[in-house]
Structure 1
């Protein structure tokens, strides 16, 4: 007890002695360090502190005189908001330790698309690395420790979704929904099909990423590429009015010269398309137009768009690679750009289902207006009178058959899709089944398909493997290209006996629709197998095998019951007419075709990444690839059957013809790429690829291509880092070479075609193109410079200048007859494409219940041929006004200047070399060498404009596209080729605009048989500049949770597609203009109602 009392007295004395010391301090706005020095000088204490926590430079004002040390210390620490501790002869300044609060929070993170939980989503305390990860069901629990919990901000993120921030406040439970679509620079960009991906801020090349859901999937398209129209800067989309045909895609202009005179298929101008690592086979026509173009092109093969095999609802995203830095990994196949398509995959979480259904109606519009019966007879009589055939002049028979109205009805559209997806600890899966039928307004014009998809991925430790399998079945019914809306209106549908009226060559259209067959059935599948092994955080091995298989059978039957089964009188003609038959009928014909395509590709690669120090980061890939494609073609034709009521086997025909062909190509490659960045400000890229192809000779079959690129994230520099205006600013530049080897099979060796049932029934083969062992690769030199600029948290702007120089282009040239060939392929042309791209995305309104997002893009491209070997120009022989001429674009339209109709004679007048000539003189005196540029089918600029408005649960989406300055040459047979009047109708324009009497101010010439018409003239040239209202959709998302509906989501969508065109040159009232003339079939306007649900 005494000892205890002694110790207490001792410490009290010490403390009392400490605090009994006095100090005088007079410091006005001085650093704390000076105050500390003053205390140490006046007392026996030493002042200690942690320099990382106590700022001794902090200014303080204190004025005390002879006050106890404790009082002075209290004043100092109060003003600086710190504490102090006295230990023996030491004063220790310490920071104030807050009172730590804690609260346990929990909740669930869900996807806005299907309202299901998102596993492995990250919940972080903003500004820290502390937080939690959601479990398999998307749920989480976390204990927050903070001195001010109510002000804590949670940051919730997951790959492919927009990051969300939520204030904790006083809540303990959180129901969080993430919107699909990564934000800003956190967006992951797929940079190749070899498994490489980058954050957007790290991408050096020019790559456009488009999520499928942003393309308007509710539109009633057959293939997903149709939805790219007007969506991406630099990408031109030309959609055929015929169902299921390939979409012409030009990325930064046409990448190769199109043959004009040759029967040889030219180098592909389409981009390389890759789906889940599978290189798609491009379905193109055969060499030798006569092979599949039996009968003047009317019976050509039904070419199928390869992307029609894929279900619209199975697509996840597009990545469009444009410049050398982006496409360099693909070397000799990337001259026309690369499109990488990723399909939807399963993700970890509970099994979820998605079901959707769309139905709609289709009507025809922009259809040609033809002469009615009375007008037609008037024109016929005028023709016979002027031509001296007065015996053929006759009164109108009172028949007025509107073939267009009879052959068009209301079409129907339907699409159904069902999918299931989910995943457990080490695996994910997704399966889907879809059905779609598009029946256009024209009778028997339809496309029907069933598609399925299955994907599975297994991942454990360092190994993961995946499989994708997508089978499909497609049936295309063609309205038969021999059937026409343009038959004479004076022919009745049926005769006096109630039978279809016979009509030579084309056949009665209604009879054709009911008695003929024109079907193409395609069975296909895509599959890929991929495996990856991660040796370490730095090294990964990947391998992939892809297969594209399709088998197409085409059946065309022209019944002997109608005129389409008739043939010509020349026995050598495919239209053979039996002269002993009083009707000249051989009782029909049938053509069968088969195209069997098998293409596989395999690659293996090593990917490496490393960080040196804090600021130097590298990653790269080294790989090999092999590929092979084989296409078997078969053709059989029979003419003349005993039974004309039903289709008969070809072997039962009076005449039979069989042909076949095999197209085969193979290649192998070595590819590599190295990326380096310093401080995530300066990025550098170099890639290199070696390709070998069977298309070329042994000493010319290897191509070396590569590229370099750099980018500078200017906004990361100190002078912009804290800018409130600039969010992101980057400059990019790249240069490199690519090639184009997609020219068909073994071209350097020459081409042969095999035939059956030849002379004396023998099989034979004939040469179609001379061998050329010096034939080599086309090369595309690509240069690009671009800027990306995001500002004010609302605007994202991208612009690029590009120039592609294409050399050693493969063209066909005529050779001397003595060689035994008609033509050979050589590297004989050079040209360039250059232009600008601009794209702007903006968030105009972003409020809790209302938003407005808008996007705009525009592209301008110039093309010019700079060299042609062997010829100064290469003119078309078919009077389609095409030519390849140095100094002009490949899209230039050539011909003569039409200046009007001579009021005195009714003859056409032309300006040739500043002299006036009529049509007869032009036909006699001038040829292609006298043609001049009269138009250009390449637009001066094109682009798109999209707007999305959202108010609470309602969303309105409006999509538009536009083109300006593109010309089109219209077939003169629609206008004033009076010689065809005996078996077809022509445009209604002729009735009011033709020359009838001396002095008439007319547009079309005198109606007479000896008037030579000049088809390639400005008379038939039209400006196609227009704005197109592509799609308008209105959707409503049901508040299923509020209404207690047992579904994760439920939405309804109304859509109108291909709604309207505003042409620069409007069609005259009641007449035809460019809107009506430019398509083979009328266009289709479709309205649909759709429902989509997840559960």
Structure 2
């Protein structure tokens, strides 16, 4: 059986050129246009999840227009960036990915090892994502017009946490008050119930507010709760029910997208012109993303020895957003999650009916007498405050190529000289307005911040290539030079003191709170070379070398050297394999090399930096706020890759790759004597290893002429280990620890010893006494002793993660389903934790709190509830991070060719698609894909999208 020629001759976009898949010695995977277009997304990073083995993606924010974070083969750094390098049409890209229209993308190639990415030197250590846009077609002056339209609606992709209702909340609140009186103040249990009811409606500590203002039931508290049993009167009825999470949400927000592209050309010139419009309304009210895009790609073979091309794209985006994060009132994802169910969004009359103003509008309840988050209403702020970002983005690429490919050039045959120039420019206007009446800026009569940022970067390279085939020998040599420069400029100001609301210009405010400006510059100069050789299309060898000089480092440490070696052997081409005609392809490959990471968080990390804003009375001055280190340099990866590629029975494909990525010279803070005035300074003193296996299996289960079924399964296993840190072999950061011999971002927590069945107190295992002396482990309910008795109890990195894709087609019908999975790892869900350890009155409980300890003898893992008690997060609060998700389902129909010919159309396809359809995890409400560190906070929930569309070509 002959090998699958089409698959082996596939062209792969690689660093500074292209290569045949069969001859490539590195690790690279291609995601084609049809895969990308099935994901209805604004940012291409969200379309890559589940398409490449070894790539981990977060779910990303639900904010319209937002993207996903991505790491390739694990964490390459602790304090520097782990983000891969993005390259668009051969040139590194410095714009926002959501300014690239996914419909303009022809393919995305992910480079994972040193042989594939070492030519990107100091920026390639975290992997490289190569984005190639669509080109024109050689079609004898034929013009092809493509129209696409897509309409959709969105909803929550992550279900809500299961929280208590109004009746359950009041029963738990009563019990918390009663326990506080019994166990803190020593009140007799028979009297505590009656006193608890009085406290609940008291102004100082009561959850119900003045005159039971926040009692949602139709009877007073004395009749509502039995002081002995603590149960709600079964005849009680709710007067109102309002869910903060529902009230802040748009219901079925709309998404609409339209595309027009024109392609054409002849043997000499090809072109592609496109325009696009996207409007995406968010789940959170007032949030929205709008984008206009345009692109022109032109290639022309002016002479047989001269080729040139020009690409230009423009995008304008406008984003209305809510940037608040963390535990602050203005963060609606915080407020709506923690607010007890008895508190309404709007004001109500005593009979439960809504109060309205003179215009009939509902009146927001600002919680004047609310014990939790008093004098605020985050949903009202959502409409009264405003945040907007407008960005204009321009990208251009141009090249010229001189080549001598014909025999007439004699000994000069095979030379090619190419010059590439790429430019990325964006201009961003940012506005953040807080109203003068309520919220964070009420005390300053409002606040307005405006900022303008402008960035220009360009890359200019010159590449000389020599290619020659002599009998069974094939040689490809390239040398080149590249220069990259970036310049950023920032100007911002803030003013307060507005006479009234709704004013969005700085001139309308009275007081200048602050103003600043900044200019940053960054440059890299590089010299690079590559050699590719193969013999008889069986034995392949590649080598590359690049040296970079980066302005981020001192002139004496500026230059770094990066290199790679790769080889592959196509065993299936050997004569002894001819009898195995069921083996279409069998290739072994290996590579080793080094890559760098200069994205260390500062353009001036090696320098001493000064704070120029200091003053002493009438004297102005400056102070040093960081120390220099002239020896600072790149973080460097040494990357080993060993793989096998096979195609069997012209039906089964297998790719398996073992990798070992050793990161050296990690950037960490070196401790310094405090007498110097500084705790530490940045230095290259750490090392870390990521080792694992990527496997991709593709099976053509059915290959009939009409019915086809292809299964693609991907799986990756990775182990991370910190090999060396600073002089202090561990760094503790909250609930995480970085320690030699352990996994990055390991959880460092006290150990739970269960719940005492006699007292209901949370117990802990500790190995220190009150004087911090080490002793044998013992159980205690003294939370103060847990600080010195923490242990490493897990980490977020899964044991196995990947995806399963099923593609079906029957005549004109196509159906596909993409699922992703992750097995192993732990999460620490801060939202769930706060619902289970309600230390603040007026905050909601999770349903699991109903399993709490209530009386002596109860066996449970939930301690008794009591206001103001201190509980520590322990190992029992870790949640299994495993999940299974249905990421995309697409059903399409392409009309028959004979029917299309009659109406003079080339193609019509209609389709329906669902993104982020379902998530199965160990805790309803938790997003196990939220981030890579394993901690979950109050953030914009991801969205599920249902869409229908049409694709017309003529």
TM-score, length basis structure 2 = 0.85
Cα deviation per residue 1:869-925 (whole Å; 9 max; x = unaligned)?
A: 22110111xx2x111101001132221222322233332212234734445x34345
Q: 1:485 aligns with which of 319, 329, 336?
A: 336
Displacement of 1:538 in angstroms is: 0.5
Cα deviation per residue 1:557-586 (whole Å; 9 max; x = unaligned)?
A: 2223333434xxxxxxxxxxxxxxxxxx33
> Structure with the greater relative contact order (CA < 8 A, sep ≥ 6): 1 or 2?
2
The corresponding residue for 1:40 is none
The corresponding residue for 1:191 is 14
Aligned pairs for 1:996-1075 (under 5 A) are 996-1015=854-873, 1017-1042=874-899, 1044-1063=902-921, 1065=922, 1067=924
Q: 1:1083 aligns with which of 932, 937, 942?
A: 942
Alignment RMSD (CA, Å) = 2.6
In structure 2, C-alpha distance between the alignment counterparts of 1:956 and 1:239, rounded to whole Å:
24
Displacement of 1:636 in angstroms is: 2.7
| 1:494 counterpart = 2:346 | yes
- 710 and 1075 in structure 1: CA distance in 2 versus 1, 3 angstrom threshold: closer
In structure 1, C-alpha distance between the alignment counterparts of 2:110 and 2:97, rounded to whole Å:
15
Check the 8 A contact 1:559/1:647 in 2, yes or no.
Answer: no
Q: What is the SS of the residue equivalent to 2:245?
A: helix
Displacement of 1:679 in angstroms is: 1.1
Q: What is the SS of the residue equivalent to 1:697?
A: coil
| 1:846 counterpart = 2:703 | yes
- 979 and 791 in structure 1: CA distance in 2 versus 1, 3 angstrom threshold: same
Cα deviation per residue 1:697-719 (whole Å; 9 max; x = unaligned)?
A: 12111101111111111111101
Displacement of 1:657 in angstroms is: 1.9
Displacement of 1:1021 in angstroms is: 1.0
In structure 2, C-alpha distance between the alignment counterparts of 1:1073 and 1:447, rounded to whole Å:
23
The corresponding residue for 1:363 is 155
Cα deviation per residue 1:575-605 (whole Å; 9 max; x = unaligned)?
A: xxxxxxxxxx332223333332222211111
Q: 1:229 aligns with which of 20, 24, 49?
A: 49
Q: What is the SS of the residue equivalent to 2:258?
A: strand
- 401 and 565 in structure 1: CA distance in 2 versus 1, 3 angstrom threshold: farther
Cα deviation per residue 1:844-872 (whole Å; 9 max; x = unaligned)?
A: 11111111111111110111011112211
- 641 and 917 in structure 1: CA distance in 2 versus 1, 3 angstrom threshold: farther
| 1:376 counterpart = 2:169 | yes
The corresponding residue for 1:521 is 390
| 1:257 counterpart = 2:90 | no
The corresponding residue for 1:262 is none
Q: What is the SS of the residue equivalent to 1:405?
A: helix
Q: What is the SS of the residue equivalent to 2:444?
A: coil
Q: 1:946 aligns with which of 779, 784, 805?
A: 805
In structure 2, C-alpha distance between the alignment counterparts of 1:617 and 1:863, rounded to whole Å:
39
Q: What is the SS of the residue equivalent to 1:749?
A: coil
| 1:602 counterpart = 2:460 | yes
Q: What is the SS of the residue equivalent to 1:549?
A: strand
- 623 and 899 in structure 1: CA distance in 2 versus 1, 3 angstrom threshold: same
Cα deviation per residue 1:309-340 (whole Å; 9 max; x = unaligned)?
A: 10010000111111121112112211111111
The corresponding residue for 1:974 is 834
The corresponding residue for 1:507 is 376
In structure 2, C-alpha distance between the alignment counterparts of 1:1006 and 1:640, rounded to whole Å:
48
Gap regions ≥5 residues in structure 2: 182-194, 202-211, 217-239, 325-329, 348-354, 358-362, 368-372, 406-412, 768-775, 931-935
Displacement of 1:942 in angstroms is: 0.6
In structure 1, C-alpha distance between the alignment counterparts of 2:173 and 2:180, rounded to whole Å:
10
| 1:813 counterpart = 2:670 | yes
Check the 8 A contact 1:610/1:617 in 2, yes or no.
Answer: yes
Q: 2:451 aligns with which of 580, 585, 593?
A: 593
In structure 2, C-alpha distance between the alignment counterparts of 1:232 and 1:961, rounded to whole Å:
11
Higher mean displacement: 627-636 or 862-871? 627-636
Check the 8 A contact 1:278/1:548 in 2, yes or no.
Answer: no
Displacement of 1:810 in angstroms is: 0.7
Displacement of 1:829 in angstroms is: 0.7
Cα deviation per residue 1:181-205 (whole Å; 9 max; x = unaligned)?
A: x82111111221x2x2222111111
Displacement of 1:800 in angstroms is: 0.7
Q: What is the SS of the residue equivalent to 1:331?
A: helix
Check the 8 A contact 1:410/1:440 in 2, yes or no.
Answer: no
Check the 8 A contact 2:421/2:458 in 1, yes or no.
Answer: yes
TM-score, length basis structure 1 = 0.74
Q: 1:712 aligns with which of 562, 565, 569?
A: 569
| 1:904 counterpart = 2:725 | no
Cα deviation per residue 1:584-628 (whole Å; 9 max; x = unaligned)?
A: x3322233333322222111110101233x122211110011111
In structure 1, C-alpha distance between the alignment counterparts of 2:24 and 2:928, rounded to whole Å:
43
Check the 8 A contact 1:278/1:526 in 2, yes or no.
Answer: no
Gap regions ≥5 residues in structure 1: 1-126, 128-161, 164-181, 259-266, 283-305, 567-584
Displacement of 1:1009 in angstroms is: 3.9
The corresponding residue for 1:205 is 26
Aligned pairs for 1:271-670 (under 5 A) are 271-281=84-94, 306-349=96-139, 350-364=142-156, 365-388=158-181, 392-394=199-201, 397-398=215-216, 400-408=241-249, 409-461=251-303, 462-481=305-324, 482=330, 483=332, 484-486=335-337, 487-495=339-347, 496=355, 498=357, 499-503=363-367, 507-536=376-405, 537-566=413-442, 585-612=443-470, 614-647=471-504, 649=506, 652-654=509-511, 656-670=513-527
- 604 and 1073 in structure 1: CA distance in 2 versus 1, 3 angstrom threshold: closer
- 467 and 1022 in structure 1: CA distance in 2 versus 1, 3 angstrom threshold: same
- 631 and 977 in structure 1: CA distance in 2 versus 1, 3 angstrom threshold: farther
Check the 8 A contact 2:829/2:937 in 1, yes or no.
Answer: yes
In structure 2, C-alpha distance between the alignment counterparts of 1:763 and 1:629, rounded to whole Å:
32
Aligned pairs for 1:915-994 (under 5 A) are 915-918=777-780, 921-924=782-785, 926-927=787-788, 930-971=789-830, 974-982=834-842, 984-990=843-849, 992-994=850-852
Displacement of 1:998 in angstroms is: 3.8
Check the 8 A contact 1:923/1:1014 in 2, yes or no.
Answer: no
| 1:795 counterpart = 2:652 | yes
- 239 and 658 in structure 1: CA distance in 2 versus 1, 3 angstrom threshold: same
- 750 and 1020 in structure 1: CA distance in 2 versus 1, 3 angstrom threshold: farther
Cα deviation per residue 1:801-822 (whole Å; 9 max; x = unaligned)?
A: 1101111111123433333434
In structure 2, C-alpha distance between the alignment counterparts of 1:561 and 1:375, rounded to whole Å:
35
In structure 2, C-alpha distance between the alignment counterparts of 1:950 and 1:317, rounded to whole Å:
22
- 715 and 506 in structure 1: CA distance in 2 versus 1, 3 angstrom threshold: farther
Matched length: 850
